[in-house]
Amino acid sequence: MERNKTPEEMDVALGAAVRIRRRMMGMSQEVLAEHCDVSFQQIQKYENGSNRISFSRLVQIAQALKCRVSDLVAAVEPSGEAASVGASLVQRLSTPGAMELLEAYERLPSHVRAAVVQFTGQLTREREAEREAA
């Protein structure tokens, strides 16, 4: 039997939840790795879902991130439509630059936020039109 090389969706979502929490705390991968006695490369693999996180390691990670294991797992629990929306949101927030963009967006006045949403929508539509024309 050939081993599946693509990460499982739940492993990716859990890794994304770890990344988001770590970044929200302003912690580097190196610091988290030190707390867990692993390499920062291992943290990268956990965060992108290519390596599964054992339960004991998840407990260490949660302690280092000053949260409960359930806080990290909550976004990936397979309990219907709300959970899949939560997992999708976690994966989107793990996109490089997403957290920085959201933090900057939150600091904007509401009328500027509306203009930013309109502008990015227009950029997206133009990009999609370019792809279709190509």
Provide the whole-model pTM: 0.65
Q: Domain locations in the chain?
A: 1-95, 97-134
Q: Model confidence over 22-70: pLDDT tens digits?
A: 988 889 999 999 999 999 999 999 998 899 999 999 999 999 999 999 8
Q: Is the alpha carbon torsion for 21, 19, 8, 56 positive or negative?
A: negative
**3-state SS class at 8:** coil
Q: What is the dihedral of CA 10, 89, 34, 27, to 10 degrees?
A: 180
12 contacts 91 by C-beta, under 8 angstroms = yes
Instruction: State which fold the 1-95 domain adopts.
Output: 434 Repressor (Amino-terminal Domain) (1.10.260)
| Burial grade of 76 (CB within 10 A; 0-12, 13-18, 19 or more) | buried
72 contacts 83 by C-beta, under 8 angstroms = no
- Confidence band, pLDDT 50/70/90 cuts, at residue 82: very low
